[in-house]
Amino acid sequence: MKEASSASSSSLASEIPLSQKVIKVISNVCFSFFVLSVLVVTVIAVTYQPPDPWLQSSSALTSSLSSVLPNSTFHTDDSLLPTGEDLLLSSPSPSNSSSSTYQPPDPWLQSSSALTSSLSSAPLNCSDPRVLAAIRSFNARAFFRGSIVFLSYDAPVAGPHPGECDAAWRFRNRKEKSWRRYRDYRRSFEVVYVGKFRSGTNAAAAAVASPRSRAARPKTPQISADADINDTIPTVGSESQFKKGKYLYYTRGGDHCKGMNQFVWSFLCGLGEAQFLNRTFVMDLSICLSGAHTPSGKDEDGKDFRFYFDFEHLKESASVVEEGEFLRDWRRWDRAGAKKNGRISVRKVPTYKVAPMQLKKDKSTIIWRQFGGPEPENYWYRVCEGRAAKYIQRPWHAIWKSKRLMNIVTEIAGKMDWDYDAVHVIRGWKAQDKKLWPNLDADTSPEALAAKLTKVLRPMRNLYIATNEPFYNYFDRLRSHFKVHLLDDYKEMWGNTSEWYNETMALNGGRPVDFDGYMRVAVDTEVLYRAKTQVETFNNLTRDCKDGINTC
């Protein structure tokens, strides 16, 4: 009986067509793949931590701001609104991630030409092409594990002593996706040892003497200590060129003297509308710094846009013209046109309620938006609210931090050999407000910081502390565990003998420029972004929420 049943089943199996067998196998494989996919998606959904929108794309940043943006003044904060280059950076490393082991460059790495020079009794000729080749070869081996990408080299020059050469090169940080270039110059001894960051002073460009004070809006010097910086103001041109152009002009509104975050948000609204209308944006290089960032606590007008932002990059990324040059040409060519019955056409727009879409087909040479109403009706960013938000894209890529500030950032990172960890310690008025941040003060005390940081960072590493804590010795307890670095340890980089001091004074008509609070936050933030391991206050150090209680 059993033999009969087995025989019948085998005969049935043999009768099943081959195509049905193939379909059955494929369906089983597909079902297995589906089950595996569901399992993977489930695991990702459970373990995924939402990213911080402030470090993501411009669209995420725009949606984040739009969801919390009130119709009144921005709330003053100690944080810094990221600019274009920050939105391209990777998200900060979690505090528990292990930093890669740093291999210090071997000072005895030598190329064949260097060995020949050291054995020769003849003095080292720094202009010899083989010297540059040896320096390039040495750098390629000494820094290959670090964060440096070498872009170009200048010809080496003689150092102060025989056998020493000073070399200069351009480089960028490997973590930056933007191709912003920086410079370094170092002293090499027979190309067997490379000095500290910016040690080869003979290879540095000569500093520019400060010009005498001129008119209210001085001409920008054509020569800068950093040859890569071009801060010159573009001119409109002849009468025919002016009349052929199309301009969007915003007069000052209620944003003036508000926080820098609100200034950037509003400025990019105007720039975005100009791009939507295919017009040149008329911008005022004179901005007002909020008292939140000044030593006196009072608003300070007359600050130059170029102190804080990269004007050269802005000129390359968008069509802009400086307000002073524009108004002078407007008056001149308008008077000339009046005699010829050909005055410049202007459309005045007295309210933000006239949407950009209504101006798309306007043929006037100048569209003049006026913001004369009461706050918050006179804020620039109101133009981009409502339906206009679907049409106006803020060009975040056009705003970068000033390269003069970024040179300080690279110099600080270079002093630590680009191998350091960083912690962001937010205190200030937030630590004093116990209602919104009940635990922040205690969680960022010296004892609490020492207990937490020693668990997530390796001992005796370079530790940069980005903070708004005013007392320099507040972090002394950490010095027994780490090599602590604070921004005030590098005051010489903006002191009265520094490149930054001379260059900003030249922009300011020969008057010294204060290294204000916003500049400090900008440098702190960028040094933090370049650390191997980053520890954040509200993500890692405290139980409190960034925007106050019950906002996490």
**Tens digit of each residue's pLDDT (9 = 90 or more) over 530-544:** 999 999 999 899 999
- Alpha-carbon torsion 255, 259, 260, 266, what sign? negative
Q: For residue 322, give the nearest of 227, 232, 213, 228 by alpha carbon.
A: 232
- Residue 51 confidence (pLDDT): 46
- Has residue 522 got a pLDDT over 90? yes
- Residue 133 confidence (pLDDT): 81
Q: For the ranges 168-172, 331-335, 448-452, 487-491, which has the lowest average pLDDT? A: 168-172
The single-letter DSSP state of residue 435 is T
- Residue 505 confidence (pLDDT): 93
User: Where does 297-383 have alpha helices with state H?
Assistant: 305-308, 311-317, 323-339
* b/e burial code for range 386-404 (CB count within 10 A of at least 16 → b): eebeeebbbbbbbbbbbbb
- Has residue 78 got a pLDDT over 70? no
CA 385, CA 368: separation in Å to the nearest integer?
Answer: 19
Confidence of residue 144 (pLDDT cuts 50, 70, 90): low
Structure tokens at 57: 């794309």
CA 7, CA 9: separation in Å to the nearest integer?
Answer: 6
- Mean per-residue pLDDT for 9-28? 69
Instruction: Provide the total of helices (H) and of strands (E) in the chain, helices listed first.
Output: 17, 15
Q: What is the phi/psi pair of residue 327, to 5°?
A: -65, -40
| Residue extents of the structural domains in the chain | 16-48, 53-99+401-541, 112-203, 239-398
Structure tokens at 166: 């000073």
Q: What percent of the chain has pLDDT over 70?
A: 72
CA 184, CA 204: separation in Å to the nearest integer?
Answer: 8
Q: For the ranges 40-49, 108-117, 302-311, 520-529, which has the lowest average pLDDT? A: 108-117
CA 136, CA 493: separation in Å to the nearest integer?
Answer: 27
3-class secondary structure per residue, 91-142: CCCCCCCCCCCCCCCCCCCCCHHHHHHHHCCCCCCCCCHHHHHHHHHHHHHH
Report the mean per-residue pLDDT for the chain: 79
Q: Do the bridges between strand 300-304 and strand 421-425 make them parallel or antiparallel, or are there none, so unpaired? A: unpaired
* b/e burial code for range 513-530 (CB count within 10 A of at least 16 → b): bebbbbbbbbbbbbbbbb
Greatest mean pLDDT range, 21-35, 58-72, 73-87: 21-35
Confidence of residue 226 (pLDDT cuts 50, 70, 90): low
Q: What is the phi/psi pair of residue 130, to 5°?
A: -70, -25
- Residue 81 confidence (pLDDT): 61
- With left for phi above 0 and alpha for psi between -120 and 50, is residue 97 left, alpha or beta? beta
Q: What is the architecture of the domain spanning 239-398?
A: 3-Layer(aba) Sandwich (3.40)
Structure tokens at 502: 């001379």
Considering only residues 547 and 147, tell me which one the structure prediction assigns the higher pLDDT: 547
- Has residue 105 got a pLDDT over 80? no
- For 174-276, list the strands marked E by DSSP: 182-189, 247-250
CA 35, CA 124: separation in Å to the nearest integer?
Answer: 70
Report the 10 Å Cβ neighbour count for 21: 11
The single-letter DSSP state of residue 533 is S
- Residue 192 confidence (pLDDT): 57
Q: What is the phi/psi pair of residue 150, to 5°?
A: -80, 130
- Has residue 510 got a pLDDT over 60? yes
In contact, 487 and 523? CB cutoff 8 Å: yes
For residue 38, the surrounding DSSP H or E stretch is helix 18-47
Give the pTM: 0.69
**Tens digit of each residue's pLDDT (9 = 90 or more) over 355-410:** 999 999 999 999 999 998 888 899 999 999 999 999 999 999 999 999 999 999 99
Confidence of residue 208 (pLDDT cuts 50, 70, 90): very low
CA 132, CA 141: separation in Å to the nearest integer?
Answer: 14
- Residue 29 confidence (pLDDT): 83
- Residue 11 confidence (pLDDT): 52
In contact, 262 and 292? CB cutoff 8 Å: no
* Torsion of the alpha carbons at 246, 251, 255 and 259, rounded to the nearest 10: 70
Structure tokens at 220: 């920008």
Q: For the ranges 52-56, 244-248, 393-397, 537-541, which has the lowest average pLDDT? A: 52-56
Q: For the ranges 89-103, 204-218, 439-453, which has the lowest average pLDDT? A: 89-103
- Residue 396 confidence (pLDDT): 94
Tokens 């369906």 label which residue?
A: 27
Measured in whole angstroms, the distance separating CA 118 from the mean position of its chain's CA atoms is: 43
CA 363, CA 340: separation in Å to the nearest integer?
Answer: 20
